Structure 1
Amino acid sequence: MIAPSLRVALLVLGLSAGFASAETLPLPAGLVGAATTDGEALLIGAEARAAYFPLADQFVTQKTQSFCGVASMVMVLNAAGVPAPTVPEYEPYRTFTQDNLLDARTDAVVPRETILRQGMTLDQLGGVLALQPLDVTVKHAGDDSLDAFRTAARDHLAQPGQFVLVNYLRKALGQQTGGHISPLAAYDAEADRFLILDVARYKYPPVWVTASDLFAAMNTPDRDNGGRTRGYVLISRKTAN
């Protein structure tokens, strides 16, 4: 049996190999790449990383530049083991993809044409997820606090079957440039950093960001959401009654 610390190291190395040849943008100061020596050390020492392996197993790149929310939801739904639709090219196997997640039900929350044009807001993200057998809580940063976010996200990342999606403004982290959505995968208390598994893998690798910087990037107004702030979504598998 592989020891947990070795398992983490092996998986980090696997992810690192994928990023080694990617022509991603340089990371600004304050962000730590997951595939760096410091990034690997943070993951190995992280106190909350139950979400990491299920999400890493389902890691996908958003298929268009506006599909960050769709790709993030696909990762979470597959990682959570939500019953998935059939996929003709994979029959008899079932899985969520960026092609089959959106349907008439999700169109009632946010039309596919809107997502293709401009992506989705935090509330639309939560609304689409709520169509699935999940417990979903949407939190706007402007109605929350750094301490509340840190505690809630850490606790979710520490428990199997629980996930966190974040909606933040890239330029607030020194990245290019607009609003973005991706899953969190781990939290290291000593460094007070969260690991973002960035679904725009053609642009940026997964990064470790301080809780305060991430919260500040979420605590930004989104004009497509009526000026409400961005924020995060807490997701849990529903337990059987």
Structure 2
Amino acid sequence: MIASCFRAAVLLLGISIGQASAEQLPLPDNLIGAATDGGEALLVGADAREAYFPLADNFVTQKTQSYCGVASMVMVLNASGVPAPPVPEYEPYRTFTQDNLLDERTDAIVSRDTILKQGMTLDELGGVLATQPLAVVVKHAGDTSLDDFRAMGREYLDQPGHFVIVNYLRKAIRQEVGGHISPLAAYDAEADRFLILDVARYKYPPVWVKAEDLFAAMNTPDASNGDRTRGFVLIKTKAAE
């Protein structure tokens, strides 16, 4: 009964997720689209999926091709329930948007002009998140291991108020083509796959990717970050500590 109810909820939510774009690029055969029968089955049977509904409720498309990090943070911040700034057009309601997340405090970490031109690095992503009332841990893939990533990712995705954002090289999972940032939403142990809610929704849908492949895509040097490897950020609300 629980699985049936969850499947129904997935189908309802999948309507909005699946309609992001009619011109997305085709997926390589190593990835499983979330909106396919196989993708739905993975989510229904997933071992860790506490992050899925909070993130899916707040799923956004990055507003520019360099704003993947900003869009990912907006999703996590709204999903986490931390106090949000006012938005004049939504008054009296408050929410994080890709227009109000960045300010003078975040400029001290990475300027808005830099993000607009080239995006952000893993360390900059962690630094901006740390300006909010969250517990944030940055993990470079080169400083950890596949087993550690799998264990930490599963642990976080299995707890309310916990989130994971990944920074990876697209071409390493046979997508096009450069560095990218998006949140994870679930993990299925039997398939050993993580679900990426890709914020470039005009380009690719959410996908299930093998843990080994995702780790390899994170374990790549980022020239914008002094050739340190990409990696992942573990985030939890203060209430979840």
Mapped pair 1:197 → 2:197: yes
**Superposed displacement of residue 23, structure 1:** 1.2
* Alignment correspondent of 1:81: 81
Taking the TM superposition and a 5 Å limit, the aligned residue runs for 1:111-126 are 111-126=111-126
Distance, in Å, in 2 between the alignment partners of 1:129 and 1:164 is: 12
Which stretch of structure 1 is more off in the superposition, 102-111 or 20-29? Answer: 20-29
TM-score, structure 2 normalization:
0.96
**Superposed displacement of residue 216, structure 1:** 0.2
**Superposed displacement of residue 16, structure 1:** 4.1
TM-score, structure 1 normalization:
0.96
Distance, in Å, in 1 between the alignment partners of 2:153 and 2:70 is: 20
Structure 1 runs not aligned, ≥5 long: none
* Alignment correspondent of 2:214: 214
* Alignment correspondent of 2:230: 230
Q: Over the residues paired in the alignment, what is the CA RMSD in angstroms? A: 1.5
Is contact 1:9–1:44 with CA below 8 Å preserved after alignment? no
Is contact 1:63–1:98 with CA below 8 Å preserved after alignment? yes
**Superposed displacement of residue 29, structure 1:** 1.6
Is contact 2:193–2:210 with CA below 8 Å preserved after alignment? yes
Distance, in Å, in 1 between the alignment partners of 2:151 and 2:67 is: 28
* Alignment correspondent of 1:54: 54
Query: Percent of aligned pairs with the same residue?
Result: 74
Is contact 2:13–2:56 with CA below 8 Å preserved after alignment? no
Mapped pair 1:19 → 2:22: no
Q: Identify if the C-alpha distance between structure 1 residues 8 and 73 changes in structure 2 by more than 3 Å, giving closer, same or farther.
A: farther
Is contact 1:9–1:40 with CA below 8 Å preserved after alignment? no
Q: Identify if the C-alpha distance between structure 1 residues 131 and 194 changes in structure 2 by more than 3 Å, giving closer, same or farther.
A: same
Taking the TM superposition and a 5 Å limit, the aligned residue runs for 1:153-164 are 153-164=153-164
Distance, in Å, in 2 between the alignment partners of 1:24 and 1:206 is: 11
Q: Identify if the C-alpha distance between structure 1 residues 216 and 85 changes in structure 2 by more than 3 Å, giving closer, same or farther.
A: same
Distance, in Å, in 2 between the alignment partners of 1:17 and 1:81 is: 21
User: SS of the counterpart of 2:228?
Assistant: coil
Q: Identify if the C-alpha distance between structure 1 residues 9 and 208 changes in structure 2 by more than 3 Å, giving closer, same or farther.
A: farther
* Alignment correspondent of 2:147: 147
Structure 2 runs not aligned, ≥5 long: none
* Alignment correspondent of 1:28: 28
Q: Identify if the C-alpha distance between structure 1 residues 18 and 52 changes in structure 2 by more than 3 Å, giving closer, same or farther.
A: closer
* Alignment correspondent of 2:8: 9
Distance, in Å, in 1 between the alignment partners of 2:25 and 2:90 is: 34
- How far does the alpha carbon of each residue in 1:127-178 deviate from its partner, in whole angstroms, 9 at most, with x for none? 0000000000000000000000000000000000000000000000100000
User: SS of the counterpart of 2:47?
Assistant: coil
- How far does the alpha carbon of each residue in 1:110-132 deviate from its partner, in whole angstroms, 9 at most, with x for none? 00000000000000000000000
Q: Identify if the C-alpha distance between structure 1 residues 52 and 106 changes in structure 2 by more than 3 Å, giving closer, same or farther.
A: same
Amino acid at match of 1:9: A
Distance, in Å, in 1 between the alignment partners of 2:3 and 2:102 is: 36
Q: Identify if the C-alpha distance between structure 1 residues 239 and 218 changes in structure 2 by more than 3 Å, giving closer, same or farther.
A: same
